[in-house]
Structure 1
Amino acid sequence: MVVDLPQLGKVRGKRQFGIYGDEFFSFEGLPFAKPPIDELRFKAPQVCDGWGWDQELDARKERDIPVQVDQRTSCVIGSEDCLYLNVYTKHFDRTKPSLPVMVFIYGGAFRSGGASRFNYGPDYLMSKDIVYVVFNYRVCSLGFLSLPNNDLNIAGDAGLQDQVLALRWIKQHIEHFNGDANNITLFGQSAGAASVHFMMCMPEAKDLFHKAIMMSGSMLCPWTQSPGKDVLFCQLAVQAGYEGPMTQEDILKFLHCVSAEKLVQHDFFNFSHKCFGFIHPFVPSMEERPLLELMREAWSVQVPLLLGGTSFEGLVSYPLCKSSNGYIMDLLKQEPTLVLPYELYKTLSPEERECRAATIVETHYGPRSIDKNNVSQVLDLFSYKLFWHGLHRVVRSRLVHAQAPTYLYRFDFDSPTHNFMRIKLCGDDIKRGVCHADDLGYIFHKQNVKKLSRNSPEYCTIQRMVSILTTFASTGDPNCEETGSEAWTPLTPKLPYRVLNIGQDLELKTQCERQGLEVWNQLYDSDKALYGG
């Protein structure tokens, strides 16, 4: 299958069939920017020139993911030449309307991830009439290094600018893959969801998409922040072997020349940082304006939003709680004020810190004290601190400022065999609970995952998730046959916790986390401090 892209050239894809026999067409490894190498390292991406009107690009194979440390092996993988995207389209039947477009941004704490079929295969989504696109963006220091000197033009947002340029490419060219350029939904999970939120607030991304889905992340989650970011470039250079003058210009010259491998192998955060929810030092830097202000003035107030998370997000922190013989729990017991959001910890008086921290500890522990035998309570606390409260603050802001509907879901389907993230992180220690990223296995086919029985609850959940997401992408309303006869209505100021709970059955109910979220809300002195009200 060959598609002609004006101003770029021809691309050759291939016809394929998904694991359940659904036909589709794939075009992989399409460049949307020049390779960000040499002098373009750390900088905003530049538009791809194309490969010539008389040339044909072979798009039948994926390209490398961005340079990163493999979390399983601790080896460095990927390539700096990584700014490529994959397009999967259901059909090219021009007698029918163009297809809704779904563009996915992967997560990985802004330090890992990639547009790979290994994790984000199109098979399940291609059961529906859509176009699915997934693209690479630079991660870790290669995507988010910042230098204070504005004249050096290293703003700390190169990875976000990669995303903007990919969206522009999609907006310009997706019609040639039978996609509707006026019906694009941007969706992402974890750091990908935070990226969606950043795009909703960045003027450069205005009108490049028309609906948004945020899964288990927002830019208000603490792991989108990094303390001491103004000196990170020095730490990075010294760890990579720099011994020259400590000027920004000289350090930048060194960082341009050092191997990419040395730029992603580091660990600058200690356990105290991780108590606050800081996971990785190199994260997006926005212009020096408060995030709540950006949300209030966002161009996306007219964009319908579907957002939510999993019922036990905090399970993702289990390896952290077990590391170093459970040191992080000893630390929280010694310094319980570390449970507070960092923005409050650094501004409250010592007395106020202790008082408000005691409220949080009591909420998650009750009469028990923090200790290594109560790991579930720490994980529950992290569910709120790292994910759910950030999402709830977005809800509260949207209910005041947005003019488009906001829908809330809670993924609560617990499977002994198909909740891959919990199985990977918790093993036999914890065999119940729906972990952060467990929902991805019901949206994307993961390589080596076998065909399920069509009568299995796991297969049923895949059908539900795919139908909900693709229906929302098509219409801006997630109600579909799979959600049942009771209307899933948008959130309102009177019903900010009305959620579709996606478990063994679907149930519209008050969010189970309501009581805990209201305690976290009370940590803030005003609505303005909580959500920019």
Structure 2
Amino acid sequence: MNKILVSLQQGLIRGKLSRNYKNGTFYSFFGIPYAKPPLGKLRFKNPEPPERWIGTLNATTEKDGCISKNIFTRKLEGSEDCLHLNVYTPNLNNSQSSSLKPVIVFVHGHGLVAGNAKTELHGPDFFLTEDIVLVTVCYRYGAFGFSYLEDQSLGVNGNQGIKDVVMSLKWVQQNIRNFCGDPNNVTLFGASGGAGIAHHIMLSSLCNGMIHKLILHGGCSLSLWATSRKDSLTKLGEELKFVGENEKRLLEFLQTKSAISIYEGQKKVLANSIISPNVQKHFFPIIENQLNNSVLTEDPKLIISKGNYTKVPILMGHTSDEGFIFGKEAERRFKENSGVITNLDDLVPYNLKDSKGIIEKIKKFYFNGNYPKEKDLYKYLQVKSDIYCAHPLQTAIKAHLITQSLPIYFFKFAFHGKLNLYKKIQGVTKPVASHSDELCYLFRMFGNPEVEENSDEDLTIKRMVKLWTNFAKFGNPNGKNINDDLINVQWDPVELNKFNYLCIDKELTAGVNPDEDGVKFWEDFYKDNN
């Protein structure tokens, strides 16, 4: 068998032949560096271009992502040397079919504190049944990817993880033709925390000419966590016993610490803010000062309202039961409080005033004027779903519709089948589609069973992959084949006065105005606060 070699600007790489879940073939290339390893004096700094290597880089085995706990084993793994990506392609330039194909660049989620691009959660087997090139990106997160110091001369300007993804997009522009990918047809796809990153990049001048379509799952630039506080690195110094206020010395102190020490200190800083909407997060994206390499310098909503961003077709949405990611925490709170939660401060977003008045209205709207009881679990988690997903995503779409004419498609994923792995990881036993469960039908995951031919799961995979790759190819998930039996519903884009959407369950159904009452409830608060 011929060696699978590809020549890049940085050198030669060796990949391997793989098979999709229908036994078709494609090529895999793992752990390709797209930036210099951010080690030593480069810790907390913006990414730098990758260096050339001598000889042939072995890209046949997977590499770890940024340092974090594995969501399956809960063991600490990963490395600061994580600025690499994977490429999966059905053809190479030396094969019979060498026409350029649409490219999907995927940015993983996991709360901007965990995750990686490995096949254990992001296997390409489903996507590579279609004629596209898939790129999955590792980037820095937590303290390594979202740290800031006031002294701009120190070069710790924030949003390093977002700039990592921008650097990966530059790599795509320079190299993806060598994998039969079209650099002029790139879809940036972000999920959860990765959706916030992807949306921020779309709104940034740094992305000009590098993305042509956008897919967002379960998050966006207007999500509560998508912009945060700037004092995270100072807090990290305090946790690691740094004494003093000199930022240069703080940086030198933190750059000498082990990666594990940084991770453990970060964990302590995050402990009080990680899942509460009433607290602004540490180690998340920030609004930066205006510099040449800044990615986000204004409030995202203001950027959208001005129209100062790259206009591209957008496909975005979330699951029907997003709030269940907080299900175990909610059950614990009910148990600790004798079945009734009387402190609802954590349901009031940090960027709203008059929390006492808002709590009374929350009680009236969601719980018939009472404090939530155990029987109200679904309603309690619906508050979280509305706060974290339904309201910010719909607000973003409505804002975009005023300043761009290109189509925006919205979905809700409601299917709870055998592959809903994320809800299992989250400890959810109810028959729901929880946060990120839709990804289980776009990516093959190690914890899932084999897909039974013609099962509901198989049909859902084929439908979603077809819709998503149609969007990557044409900017329209309906595609060009009007007689496609697989996609038997017309998915209309959202209109200013008609919020069209597609519900993905055992069947596909078109609808209008999802979560209308809950979204309006929160819209009214934000109107009153502006």
- 3-state SS, counterpart of residue 29 of structure 2: strand
CA RMSD of aligned residues (A): 2.3
Counterpart CA distance in 2 for 1:75 and 1:141 is 19
Counterpart CA distance in 2 for 1:252 and 1:331 is 46
Deviations 1:38-58 (A, max 9, x none): 000000011012214xx2111
Counterpart CA distance in 1 for 2:446 and 2:125 is 10
The residue that corresponds to 1:276 in the other structure is 277
Deviations 1:384-441 (A, max 9, x none): 11111110111111111112110111111122x32112222234xx321110011111
Q: Is the counterpart of residue 344 in structure 1 residue 346 in structure 2?
A: no
The residue that corresponds to 1:488 in the other structure is 491
- 3-state SS, counterpart of residue 86 of structure 1: strand
Counterpart CA distance in 1 for 2:140 and 2:464 is 28
| Structure 2 counterparts to residues 320-359 of structure 1, below 5 A | 320-323=329-332, 326=335, 333-334=342-343, 336=344, 338-345=346-353, 350=354, 353-359=355-361
| Structure 2 counterparts to residues 75-154 of structure 1, below 5 A | 75-92=75-92, 93=95, 95=97, 97-154=99-156
The residue that corresponds to 1:479 in the other structure is 478
Deviations 1:301-329 (A, max 9, x none): 52000000000000001122234665699
Counterpart CA distance in 2 for 1:142 and 1:516 is 36
Q: Is the counterpart of residue 302 in structure 1 residue 311 in structure 2?
A: yes
Q: Is the counterpart of residue 453 in structure 1 residue 452 in structure 2?
A: yes
Q: Is the counterpart of residue 407 in structure 1 residue 409 in structure 2?
A: yes
Q: Are 1:206 and 1:299, in contact at CA under 8 Å, matched by a contact in 2? A: no
- 3-state SS, counterpart of residue 222 of structure 1: coil
Counterpart CA distance in 1 for 2:367 and 2:338 is 13
Q: Are 2:414 and 2:504, in contact at CA under 8 Å, matched by a contact in 1? A: yes
Kindly state the Cα deviation for residue 135 of structure 1 after the two structures are TM-superposed.
1.1
Identify if the C-alpha distance between structure 1 residues 267 and 321 changes in structure 2 by more than 3 Å, giving closer, same or farther.
farther
Q: Are 2:278 and 2:346, in contact at CA under 8 Å, matched by a contact in 1? A: no
Counterpart CA distance in 1 for 2:522 and 2:312 is 27
Identify if the C-alpha distance between structure 1 residues 73 and 4 changes in structure 2 by more than 3 Å, giving closer, same or farther.
closer
Unaligned 5+ runs, structure 2: 289-296
Unaligned 5+ runs, structure 1: none
What amino acid is the match of 1:513? D
Q: Is the counterpart of residue 290 in structure 1 residue 299 in structure 2?
A: yes
The residue that corresponds to 2:320 in the other structure is 311
Q: Are 1:320 and 1:328, in contact at CA under 8 Å, matched by a contact in 2? A: no
Identify if the C-alpha distance between structure 1 residues 483 and 365 changes in structure 2 by more than 3 Å, giving closer, same or farther.
farther
The residue that corresponds to 2:293 in the other structure is none
Q: Are 2:421 and 2:448, in contact at CA under 8 Å, matched by a contact in 1? A: no
What amino acid is the match of 2:102? P
What amino acid is the match of 1:254? F
Q: Are 1:200 and 1:298, in contact at CA under 8 Å, matched by a contact in 2? A: no
TM-score, normalised to structure 2's length? 0.91
Counterpart CA distance in 2 for 1:41 and 1:343 is 31
Counterpart CA distance in 1 for 2:24 and 2:278 is 41
Identify if the C-alpha distance between structure 1 residues 31 and 465 changes in structure 2 by more than 3 Å, giving closer, same or farther.
same
Kindly state the Cα deviation for residue 523 of structure 1 after the two structures are TM-superposed.
0.9
Name whichever of 131-140 and 230-239 sits farther off: 230-239
| Structure 2 counterparts to residues 47-66 of structure 1, below 5 A | 47-52=49-54, 55-66=55-66
Counterpart CA distance in 2 for 1:238 and 1:113 is 26
Q: Are 2:108 and 2:117, in contact at CA under 8 Å, matched by a contact in 1? A: yes
Counterpart CA distance in 2 for 1:377 and 1:329 is 18
Kindly state the Cα deviation for residue 338 of structure 1 after the two structures are TM-superposed.
4.2
Identify if the C-alpha distance between structure 1 residues 37 and 323 changes in structure 2 by more than 3 Å, giving closer, same or farther.
farther
Q: Are 2:493 and 2:501, in contact at CA under 8 Å, matched by a contact in 1? A: no
Q: Are 1:301 and 1:401, in contact at CA under 8 Å, matched by a contact in 2? A: no
Which of 204, 207, 215 lines up with 2:206 in the alignment?
204
Counterpart CA distance in 2 for 1:146 and 1:124 is 39
- 3-state SS, counterpart of residue 378 of structure 1: helix
The residue that corresponds to 2:504 in the other structure is 502
What amino acid is the match of 1:504? K
Name whichever of 232-241 and 90-99 sits farther off: 90-99
- 3-state SS, counterpart of residue 525 of structure 2: coil
What amino acid is the match of 1:67? I
Question: Which structure has more helix as a fraction of its residues?
Answer: 1
| Structure 2 counterparts to residues 389-404 of structure 1, below 5 A | 389-404=391-406
Kindly state the Cα deviation for residue 253 of structure 1 after the two structures are TM-superposed.
0.7
Counterpart CA distance in 2 for 1:328 and 1:205 is 48
What amino acid is the match of 1:314? G
Q: Are 1:146 and 1:230, in contact at CA under 8 Å, matched by a contact in 2? A: yes
Kindly state the Cα deviation for residue 449 of structure 1 after the two structures are TM-superposed.
2.8
Q: Is the counterpart of residue 240 in structure 1 residue 243 in structure 2?
A: no
Counterpart CA distance in 2 for 1:332 and 1:124 is 42
Q: Are 2:38 and 2:81, in contact at CA under 8 Å, matched by a contact in 1? A: yes
State the identity %. 28
Counterpart CA distance in 1 for 2:451 and 2:280 is 35
Kindly state the Cα deviation for residue 136 of structure 1 after the two structures are TM-superposed.
0.6
Counterpart CA distance in 2 for 1:280 and 1:454 is 44
What amino acid is the match of 1:77? E
Counterpart CA distance in 1 for 2:338 and 2:15 is 52
What amino acid is the match of 1:400? I
Deviations 1:256-289 (A, max 9, x none): 0001111122233566774326585211123252
Counterpart CA distance in 2 for 1:128 and 1:74 is 34
The residue that corresponds to 1:425 in the other structure is 426
- 3-state SS, counterpart of residue 477 of structure 1: coil
Q: Are 1:13 and 1:25, in contact at CA under 8 Å, matched by a contact in 2? A: yes
TM-score, normalised to structure 1's length? 0.90
Identify if the C-alpha distance between structure 1 residues 157 and 328 changes in structure 2 by more than 3 Å, giving closer, same or farther.
farther
What amino acid is the match of 2:252? K
Identify if the C-alpha distance between structure 1 residues 279 and 470 changes in structure 2 by more than 3 Å, giving closer, same or farther.
farther
Kindly state the Cα deviation for residue 110 of structure 1 after the two structures are TM-superposed.
0.7
Name whichever of 401-410 and 261-270 sits farther off: 261-270
Counterpart CA distance in 2 for 1:94 and 1:277 is 57
